[in-house]
Amino acid sequence: MKYDIAKEYVNIKNYSPFCFINEVSSQYQFSPFLLPFIEYGGEVTPVHPDTFFDLKLDPARIVFEKLVYPTSSFRTVFVYDDDLFLKLPLLRKITRGVRDLSRKQLERSELAGKLLGLHPRPDFSFLPEICHYADDDNFNFIERAIANPQIFPWFYAIASRAFGKEFLVNAVKNIISTWMFFASNDLLLEYHTQNILVDAFGKIYYRDLSDVKSFGDNILRPSYFDLLECKGDLFSLIFDRGVCLQNLDHIVNYGHFGGNEIAEIKDFINLSAENFGISFPNHSVDFLRDVPERRPQAIDLVSWRQ
């Protein structure tokens, strides 16, 4: 059985205030295309066609091509024959910035995978990543294997209306409890909908390890860390923004949860924070929405924590 790539295209369009920014060529956004592979530094290396064009590479360097499918993040593609994702440098803007793939991002991926592996949970897994380093960052890439092809994007479960309320409540509780658990171990997961896959039982499968944040490690500490007032502000920024505004709000907006479910989830958030010793501030934190740079600011407390 293969991963059903078609479910990637049941997407939530307003996942970012800058989702209207997408410089990827239209033919590489929602349709399969041929991905060129070249020899670089003694390794056969995939290069996104837009990057190939922007770097003005010679087509004669192409060793072979493979049919791939773009995912919801566009610069990550799915190789159907290999059941494998490839995360590629893309020298064009998507939402807040250019989607390059620096050496530091690869180092974050490797460290995050190692640290997450130290804290196993039955309701959580992650897609392991193999990082390929080049002496030019434009030719770095990451392989992301699918251990269980019977998983699907979380936003598909939200937007497709193919699942019952009990499944959604269970999955949401897994999202909240696993986020709190890892946060209590200084690993903050970017749980917006693109980064979450689930199975039919609501188990969480996290993807994109380079998005994991940490207070205590220089590699995983976010670039905007010094702009925050306190440790709790980082908890708020990642939980309130990613889990609440970019996740739970979508479930309500799609009409899945009414007053009873909302109250149940609010209680579960408060109880989980208490159980795992997570100290949130009495406000929320988000990035400024009038500029693409990641500049955090305090905002009104999200309703999910009230």
Q: What is the dihedral of CA 251, 255, 261, 266, to 10 degrees?
A: 40
Q: 97: how many CB neighbours lie within 10 A of its CB?
A: 13
Residue with tokens 């290999």: 82
Query: Quick one: 133 and 201 in the same domain?
Result: no
Q: Which two tokens stand for residue 159?
A: 């937007």
* 103-144 residue pLDDT tens: 999 999 999 999 999 999 999 999 999 999 999 999 999 999
Query: Quick one: 139 and 282 in the same domain?
Result: no
> Higher-confidence residue: 240 or 229?
240
Beta bridge partners of 40: 43
Query: Quick one: 295 and 168 in the same domain?
Result: yes
pLDDT in the model for residue 262:
97
Q: Does residue 15 carry a pLDDT above 80?
A: no
Where on the phi/psi map is residue 94: left (φ > 0), alpha (ψ -120 to 50), or beta? Answer: beta
* 67-108 residue pLDDT tens: 999 988 888 999 998 989 999 999 988 776 777 899 999 999
Three-state secondary structure call for residue 213: strand
Query: Quick one: 75 and 199 in the same domain?
Result: no
Of 145, 175, 209, which closes a domain?
145
- The mean predicted confidence, pLDDT, of the chain is 92
Phi, psi of 173 (to 5 degrees): -65, -35
How many folded domains does the chain comprise? 2
* 262-293 residue pLDDT tens: 999 999 999 999 999 999 999 999 988 777 67
Q: Which two tokens stand for residue 217?
A: 């490690």
Q: Which two tokens stand for residue 76?
A: 């990550």
Distance CA 210, CA 217 (A): 13
Query: Quick one: 53 and 10 in the same domain?
Result: yes
* 26-70 residue pLDDT tens: 999 889 999 999 999 999 999 999 999 999 999 999 999 999 999
| 184: nearest Cα among 219, 214, 204 | 214
CA atoms within 13 A on the CB side of 237: 22
Alpha helix (H) ranges present in 185-294?
231-238, 249-253, 259-276
Q: Which domain holds residue 85?
A: 5-145
Query: Quick one: 79 and 165 in the same domain?
Result: no
Q: Are 141 and 88 in contact (CB under 8 A)?
A: yes
Residues 6+ apart with CB under 8 A from 74: 22, 24, 28, 29, 90, 94, 99
Query: Quick one: 141 and 242 in the same domain?
Result: no
Query: Quick one: 177 and 135 in the same domain?
Result: no
Query: Quick one: 28 and 140 in the same domain?
Result: yes
Query: Quick one: 24 and 91 in the same domain?
Result: yes
Of 98, 116, 145, which closes a domain?
145
Distance CA 208, CA 290 (A): 26
Of 80, 114, 145, which closes a domain?
145
Query: Quick one: 140 and 38 in the same domain?
Result: yes
Q: Are 190 and 208 in contact (CB under 8 A)?
A: yes
| 175: nearest Cα among 199, 209, 201, 202 | 202
